[in-house]
Structures are given as C-alpha cells and as structure tokens.
Structure 1
Amino acid sequence: MGTIAGARSGRAREVPGPDAESAVLERELTEAVLAGAARSDVLHALARATGRQVRLLSAEGAPLATTDGGAGVSAAVADGVLTDATGPVVDTLDGLRATALPVRAGTAVTGVLLTLGPGGPRVRALAGAAVTALLIDAVRSGDGPGEVSSRHSPADVIAALRAGTVSSSVCAAARELGIDLQRPPAGAVLHYDGSRLRAWSTALAWLEHPVQQEGRTAWTVVPDESVLVRLQNRLRLMTGDDCADLVVAASGSHTDSLLGLADSFTEAERLLGLARTRRVPLLTFDRCGVVQALLPLPRARLEAYAEAHLGPVRHRPELMVTLRAWLAERGSRQSVSQQLHLHRNSVGYRVRQIKHLLGTDPLLPAASAELHLALAALDLLAADDRRLHGDDEPESPRH
C-alpha cells in the first residue's frame, strides 16, 4: 500500500481547497484498487487520512475487514444505515461510537463503512472517497451485492422515464431510488469510446444513480450539472483508461413535467451526438449556446436553414474549415494561418472566395449571427446522422 501513501504525498498539492483532500484520496484509492490493491489496503489508507480506526461491515453488520480487529453492529443497525432509516452515528457491538456510511450503488448494497470516534464533515468526506474503491473491490472479488426489492429495476425506471410512460408503480420505484418527480431532473446520457467494455459495464452497475445501459451508451437522470460531472469522473476512474475524455456526457433541459422529462432525454441524446462530433467531453443544455434554439426543430428545417445560408460553400471543405476558423478568430488572418497551417496569402484568397460566393462579409454582425447558427445546424445534422445510423464505434484516442 506504499504506492497509495507515496502517490498521496506527491499529489496532495495539485488541487487546493476544502474538497481537495477527499477528491485526491478518491482518485488514489480507485487507481490503487484497479492496480490490484486489496480492501485492507484501502482501509489502512483511509485510517491514515482520517486519523480514525476503520471497519468495513457486511450488509448484515458483520466485520469484513478492519484496521483494529473490532466488532461490527447489529443487523438492525446495519439495515437502518443502508435504508437511510437511521442517522450516521451508530454504536458498535463492542461499545464504541462510530460514523456509518453505506457502501452501495443505487439499489445494490455491499456493506457499511465505519469510522470510529467523532465524525465531522472532513472525516465523512474522506470516508465517502473510499466508497468507489470498495465497490470495485467487491465486484473484483466476486462478492454478490444485495438488492432492495422492487417491482421495477433501476433500468426499468429510466426506460419508462425516457419513454414518458410512467405508472404509479414506476413513480413509487423512482422515489425509492431517490428521484424527485415533483421537480423532474434532467435526462442525461453517457457514452464510452474506450476499449474496456467489461470495466464500463461494471462501473455502470456500481453507480449510485439508476442507469439503463445499451452497449457503450447509458441513460440516467441528474438534478444538475455537478452531479453529471461527478458521475462522469467516477466512470473515468472505474474504467481506468488513460485518456480522460473517453467518457462523453450530455444532459437535456429541466422541465416541470414527466412528459418534459422524456423530451429532455431526447435533447440529451442529440447533444451527446453533437459533443462527439465536436470532440468535447461534456455538453449540457444550459451550455450549448445557440443550439438550444435548434434542438426543437425538425431535420427538414435545419437542412433548409443550413442550405439557405451556406449553400454556395457548403460542399467546399477547404472553404468551410476556413469559414469556421475565420469566424472563431474574428477575422485574424495570422491566427487562422497558424491554426490551418496556411500561408497568410492563402487565407486571404479563401476568404475572398467565401465573401464572393456568400455575397456578404461573414464578419458583419447580422451575417455572422446567421452563419454561426447555420454552422451549428450543420453540426447538429451530422450528430443526428451519426446517432440515427447507429454509429457506435469508438472514437480514435484523444490526448
């Protein structure tokens, strides 16, 4: 376990701030388990970080691994922790006060994590940083997780929300999963472009959010962007890929109805396609710019708008790439020259061609706005083509 301690001392300075310690610890513990560290190594690293003795218990409260050889808790206490029926402070069977944290993902549970002694916000945050690593260890060691019984699996609930066919039993199951349908969350979708598909499926199974998976793509719901980013980061850690942007994520708009939630999933799928086309790892409705105005439009309207404003140059790849760069760099010939690896005179020649074919100066405010929107429409059409034609092939690695 020296690798965890050594990495920790070398990395702790990377991310300053109150949440840095738990964020760094989570990354280090997860990487260590992926590299072969045992659950006992995780507990000892957590004990050093918190200054507390640590115990991992089964779902029935029996000790699975400890740093002090101590006892567990009663089955009733363990069940209360796992079902959120009791607070985090519990008494162990050997008479000690401890802070308890469920080790679970969605309805699947693998046990209870105890830190002995007073448990302030820092200790609780550090304990939470060990959960992902312990879940990975449970999957690797073949420990079977328990399941909270329900008529609908988490995947069933997400499928129903995507389809907009929500019954009372689905609503009840959603509430059990912590989904507040009185304030519907946003539909979200994640896609994996790496090669470790088994690790991807395992990682999805251990997310704390309900997920519906189909191959490389998974759907879930999120209350806000920060939760989506956290899920994305956990999936990156648990798949263990070196390239950080192999997990692409997108989310739709927040609405006030379940029907609107189904529309949000559709928006998220289109934005995911756009994110993959543009090679960006995260794209949300709130941050997609003018694309918000285009998402409700049918394909024929998008096609007509793009053709009306880009028709003369649309099928000239060299002019299209120059137009995008010219608009992005606000007419800086030097910047476009460097970006496209062209001589400044070549850039000027292409820009003159663009102005002639379009019949306007792309940098004029009205023309620029129309062209930006037309280019976004083209990007969305390309993303839709990819999604509708079932292009599920992984991207080439991006570093």
Structure 2
Amino acid sequence: MSRPTVGVSRPTVGVSRPGELAAARPRLAVAAGPPLAAFAQWLTELAFAGAGWPELLAALAERTGAACRLVAETGELLAASDGADGPRCAAAPDDVRRALVAQDARRPVPGGRAGGAGVPGGVPTPVRCADGWTGRAVAVGTGSRRLGALLLAEPVTAGQLAFAGAAPTALLIEAVRHESPPPAVRDAATVLRALRDGLGDPAGSPPGPTEAEAGLLRSGETGPSPAGGTGLLRAGEAELLRAGAAHGWRLDQPHAVAGIAYTGAQQRRWASALSWLDRPVLAEGRRAWTLLHGDVEREVTRLRVRLDQIVGGGQVRVVAGSLVTGPARTAVSFRDADRLLRLLLRSSDERPELPFGQAGLAQVLLAVPDERLRWFVHRHLGPIAHRDDLLRTLDCWLATGGSRQAVSERLHLHRNSVGYRVGLIKRLLGVDPLDPQTVAVLRTALAARELLAASEAG
C-alpha cells in the first residue's frame, strides 16, 4: 500500500491508493481553516469516500511522523500504519482499559469543571503491545459505545496527540462499514422514516420515532456536532448520524429532503426508475423521499432528469425542503418538502420542480402555524373566501399590475366583466388591491390560502 502525501504547507492534500483515479481523490484546501481542523475535515472526507482504517492511519502517521495503531477494547489489533498484523501485535487488554478509564476521568462533566476533551489535559496513558511496541492512547468512541483506542508510538508530543485527537470521527465512520447494523437501521427507508418522525424538542418538533423503529436511539451519546468537533448529543442523534453515514448521508452537514411525485400510470416502471437512482429512497406509492447535499437546486434537477429518462418526460415532480443541519432538524425539511410537493401538484402551470429556494412566499409561510395562517386569510380575504372566481381575478389583477387586458386574456373574460369583478372585490374587501400598502398583504393572504388548501388536500 502506498503512503499518502499530506502536508499543511501545500494548498491541497491527497491520498494515493492502488487503482484509485486521481480525479476521485478527496482534496482539501488546507488554507481554508486552521491546520488541525482542516486535517480533521480531510480525514472525514477520506472516510466517506471509502478509505479504510489502514489508509486513515497511514495519513495520520504521515502527518505526525509517528507510527500509529488502532486496537479494540479487547486489545485486538484492528489496523496499523507500520505493517503490524496479527495476535503478536495485539495490545494488553488491561492497558487499553486503564487508558480509556483514565481518559474518561479527564473528560468534561456537564455542569462541572472541564478536565479536557478530544485529547484531554494531562499525558495519555501508555499501552504496550505484545511485540514490545508502546504507544499513547486516544479513545475512539461516542458515549457509552466505544470502538477502542488509537495508539501513537512513543515518544509523542502534545502537537502529535492533538492531530491524533482529530482522527476518531473518521475512524468511527469506517467502523460503521464493519458493523452489521441493528435491524432498526438495516435499510435506508427505516432511517428516513426515523428522521421524518423526528427526535422531538421543546420548540415543537414532532415526537420521536416509534419504539419498534428506534431501538437504535440511546441517550447520552456523543458524536460530531452540527458546529463541528465532538460534543454531547441528544437521545438518538449520534445513532442517527451513524445510521445516515452507513447510507452516504452527512447529517451533520447541511442537507435537504427531496420529495418526488409520479403522475403517470405505469407503477412498475416508476418502481424500476426509483431503483436506478444513485441514492437510496423511501418509496410510498406514487411518492418517494430522499436526502440531498451540496447544490440542492442542481440535485433536484438531476433527480428529475434521471427519472424522466426512465418513466417519460412530464410525469415527475420534484421538490426540496429547507436546508437543515443535524438529524434533529431533518423532520423540519421533511414537513417543508411534503407541503411543497402538495403545492406543486396543485399548481396550474405544470412546472416540474420547486426547490425551497424558489418557493417565494411559501419559504416564510411554511414556518407559520396553520392556525395563524387561517386567521390571516380570514382577516384579509374573508368576504370573498367562498368566491373562487373573485379569488382568481384578484390573483391575476395583482400579478398583472391591474391590467384589464391581461386579466381578460388569462381568464378568458370580457374586459367589462373584469372591471365588474374588480369593483366587487374592492367593495367587499374595503380596500384598493393596488394600493402599495395593500398589495403585499393580499399577495401573502392568497399564498397562505393556497398553501393551506394544498396541505388539507392530502
């Protein structure tokens, strides 16, 4: 195995692996942040790109100049940067346990005085291997679940240990691929359902996953926080981070839920089209859900084009919910995507896509409780709320800036009929729709009414 080339003094770093295409290597602009943070992010990207423990340890060894080994709590050697292999290189189990207990004792206690985190204050405990090799231990784990220890060959400096402390997240990502996931998270659809159900919070997020789905959720877990680094996570959040990572989803990074609807009649072709997507989905009849990263609007278009190629053009609608960070917020993006999909399916212009960033007033209204929206609609449109003809006329009147000719052409009405309707609207509402202070209010009320109608349509 060739060794990686890592250097914080260069603008980019890359790992050379046999048979790997250079274009596919994760690259990092180290100048974009502090060297330690940049290195941690780079290792994480390597892990998500498929790098195994040997490659990750080789990268760490290259950066620190010290050989390193990864051992389980039992002392079993999992990987090494120096070619060590087999039971003859295993670590003493008692040494590993003592090192992990000592590191726990130095870990900050919520509400108490901090004793250190990542690589805690003080010198990590030495761990001796059966071949005489000795290293200092850095814990690799989250909360009560621990993979084992990362060992850095003695003698080590504080700077080397700091870089070792940046490696556990990447090592845990690879650990997910070595584990057989519990039944509750074995398939991506179950993970998506758990994310849609939400973890629950005082601000009004939906209640948590059902007991059957959420045996994976454990309180007190720690793991990557939305702000980066490692911190205390709420119940189930760390487990969902790991479950998402197993399916290629970076829930600790900005992401959005995509909602997809099929309007055609060939259900078998629709199911086949979903199976050919480059990402897992939750399929529910004519609708499906998945997660998007990166340029969400571009990804929405990619999804639609791919599906159109299989089921035929014009039969797929795709939306994206709001961009969120952290598994506790994914349920919000799910709700937004669901309502935008309903709104798009009701739309008369037959546009095929509606990402959150192009949803206009709905971007704000989606965050407003339905009860408040109903009050607003009744307050400003109440007298004509039962008159679809007047509502359509008002919508066109505002959209055309008060052009009788344009409204006449859009609604196929005589100009005199348009004038009569507009006069009736003014009389019933008691306002001039084109008054600068009224236009925004009426536009918002019409958008709120449409959003409510789409939500209630089911």
Is TM > 0.5 for Structure 1 vs Structure 2? Answer: yes
In the other structure, the counterpart of 2:446 is 375
Answer yes or no: is 1:87 the counterpart of 2:87: no
Deviation at 1:195?
0.4
Question: TM (normalized to structure 2)?
Answer: 0.50
d(CA) in 2 for partners of 1:149, 1:215: 29
d(CA) in 2 for partners of 1:323, 1:199: 41
Residue 337 of structure 2: which of 265, 268, 292 is its match?
268
Q: Counterpart of 1:189 in 2: which secondary structure?
A: strand
The residue correspondences of 1:1-399 to structure 2 (distance < 5 A) are: 86-88=19-21, 151=182, 152-165=186-199, 166=236, 168-223=238-293, 224-239=296-311, 241=312, 244-279=313-348, 280-387=351-458
d(CA) in 2 for partners of 1:214, 1:249: 15
Greater radius of gyration (CA) = 2
What stretches of structure 1 of length at least 5 have no aligned partner? 1-83, 90-147, 388-399
What stretches of structure 2 of length at least 5 have no aligned partner? 1-16, 23-178, 200-235
Give the counterpart letter for 2:412 in structure 1: H
Q: Is the 8 A contact 1:162 1:261 kept in 2?
A: yes
Q: Counterpart of 2:314 in 1: which secondary structure?
A: helix
Deviation at 1:257?
2.3
Give the counterpart letter for 1:227 in structure 2: E
Deviation at 1:376?
0.6
> Which structure's relative contact order is higher, taking Cα pairs within 8 Å and 6+ residues apart?
1
CA distance change for structure 1 residues 176 and 86 in 2, over 3 Å: closer, same or farther? Answer: farther
Q: Deviations over 1:343-395 (max 9, x none)?
A: 111111111111111111101122110110000111011111112xxxxxxxx
Q: Counterpart of 1:258 in 2: which secondary structure?
A: coil
Deviates more, 1:297-306 or 1:365-374: 297-306
In the other structure, the counterpart of 2:123 is none
Q: Deviations over 1:256-286 (max 9, x none)?
A: 2221111111111011111111143211221
d(CA) in 1 for partners of 2:352, 2:180: 35
d(CA) in 1 for partners of 2:266, 2:332: 31
Q: Is the 8 A contact 1:248 1:281 kept in 2?
A: yes
Q: Counterpart of 2:299 in 1: which secondary structure?
A: helix
Q: Counterpart of 2:401 in 1: which secondary structure?
A: coil
Q: Is the 8 A contact 1:277 1:382 kept in 2?
A: no
Q: Percent identity?
A: 43
d(CA) in 2 for partners of 1:255, 1:263: 8
Give the counterpart letter for 2:309 in structure 1: L
Q: Deviations over 1:21-41 (max 9, x none)?
A: xxxxxxxxxxxxxxxxxxxxx
CA RMSD of aligned residues (A): 2.0
Counting matched residue pairs gives 243
Deviates more, 1:334-343 or 1:176-185: 176-185
Runs of 4+ in 1 over 6 A off after TM superposition: none
Deviates more, 1:155-164 or 1:364-373: 155-164
Give the counterpart letter for 2:450 in structure 1: D
